[in-house]
Amino acid sequence: DTGVSQDPRHKITKRGQNVTFRCDPISEHNRLYWYRQTLGQGPEFLTYFQNEAQLEKSRLLSDRFSAERPKGSFSTLEIQRTEQGDSAMYLCASSIDRGRDEKLFFGSGTQLSVL
Amino acid sequence: RKEVEQDPGPFNVPEGATVAFNCTYSNSASQSFFWYRQDCRKEPKLLMSVYSSGNEDGRFTAQLNRASQYISLLIRDSKLSDSATYLCVVNSYNQGGKLIFGQGTELSVKP
């Protein structure tokens, strides 16, 4: 399977716990995005990387959220001290930066439930 | 104001109907535009890019109006399999090039 891979598919945690998600992009893709999606809404931009550089982090993202892409390949998204409002689907997508023709390929997502 | 806004749904149409979705974007410097499709409990997938001259792919036609900052998607002869959420996506290079999604418009095609 050469698509975008996310792990785990589902995560149930208690409020206050830390969680970490992993994303493995398509191997030749230099861009990697994290989005969050709740029911009835479109994917909300969280952050993105070009190779290992984090280009932008959404203003909506609190300091409890951090993402890394240490070698420009896989990425991790960590949420510290989870809150019930963090419950959502966390989607990872990768692309090749082709300027105006950039197309995203998504993973299946990690569904987070905070109890 | 949201950066990308779409028609609120859901749209419920019979098979064979023609349906149109609209999307507006706030950043006049936006350069790239796309429609993605998302099936229930699945990840979004690219449906088509939207070009300035308008483009067509089978029963699907996408149009871009830069002056009014809106994008449209027309689906002709709707099929049951077209039932999904349609997401408008905009890329703004003066904002670092990130891709921003609208909230989506749900389409339900009935027999």
Residue A97's pLDDT is what? 75
Min distance B91 CA to chain A CA atoms (Å): 8
Task: Write out chain A residues lying below 8 Å of B8, CB-based.
Answer: none
Q: Specify the DSSP element, H or E, that contains B36.
A: strand B32-38
Residue A72's pLDDT is what? 85
Nearest CA in chain B to A43: B101
Query: B66 CB near a chain A CB, below 8 Å?
Result: no
B37 pLDDT above the threshold of 90:
yes
Residue B98's pLDDT is what? 82
Q: Average pLDDT for residues A98-109, to the nearest whole number?
A: 85
Under an 8 A CB cutoff, do A103 and B96 touch?
no
Residue B33's pLDDT is what? 92
Residue A65's pLDDT is what? 95
Residue A57's pLDDT is what? 85
Residue A60's pLDDT is what? 72
Under an 8 A CB cutoff, do B46 and A103 touch?
yes
A24 vs A2, which has greater pLDDT? A24
B81 pLDDT above the threshold of 90:
yes
Report how far residue A95's alpha carbon sits from residue A84's, in angstroms, rounded to the nearest whole number.
31
Q: Which of residues 16-55 of A touch B (CB under 8 A)?
A: 33, 35, 40-45, 48, 55
pLDDT digits (tens, 9 = 90+) for A6-65: 999 999 999 999 999 999 999 989 999 999 999 989 999 999 999 999 988 887 778 999
User: What mean pLDDT is reported for chain B?
Assistant: 92
pLDDT digits (tens, 9 = 90+) for B51-71: 888 899 999 999 999 999 999
Strands B70-75, B19-25: pairing is antiparallel
Which candidate in B3, B21, B43, B85 is best for mutational testing of the A interface (most A CBs within 10 A)? B43
Report how far residue B104's alpha carbon sits from residue A43's, in angstroms, rounded to the nearest whole number.
9
Percent of chain B with pLDDT over 70: 96
Report how far residue A27's alpha carbon sits from residue B8's, in angstroms, rounded to the nearest whole number.
37
Nearest CA in chain A to B97: A99
Residue B95's pLDDT is what? 60
Residues A72 and A58: beta-carbon distance below 8 Å: no
Residues A15 and A82: beta-carbon distance below 8 Å: yes
Under an 8 A CB cutoff, do A45 and B43 touch?
no
* Residue A35, beta-bridge partner list: A45, A91
A106 pLDDT above the threshold of 70:
yes
Q: Is B71 exposed, middle or buried (0-12, 13-18, 19+ CB in 10 A)?
A: buried
Q: Left, alpha or beta for A12 (phi > 0: left; psi -120 to 50: alpha)?
A: beta
Nearest CA to B71 among B83, B81, B63? B63
Q: How far is CA A3 from CA A24, A25, A27, A111, in A?
A: 9, 7, 9, 18
Q: Average pLDDT for residues A88-95, to the nearest whole number?
A: 96
Q: Left, alpha or beta for A109 (phi > 0: left; psi -120 to 50: alpha)?
A: left
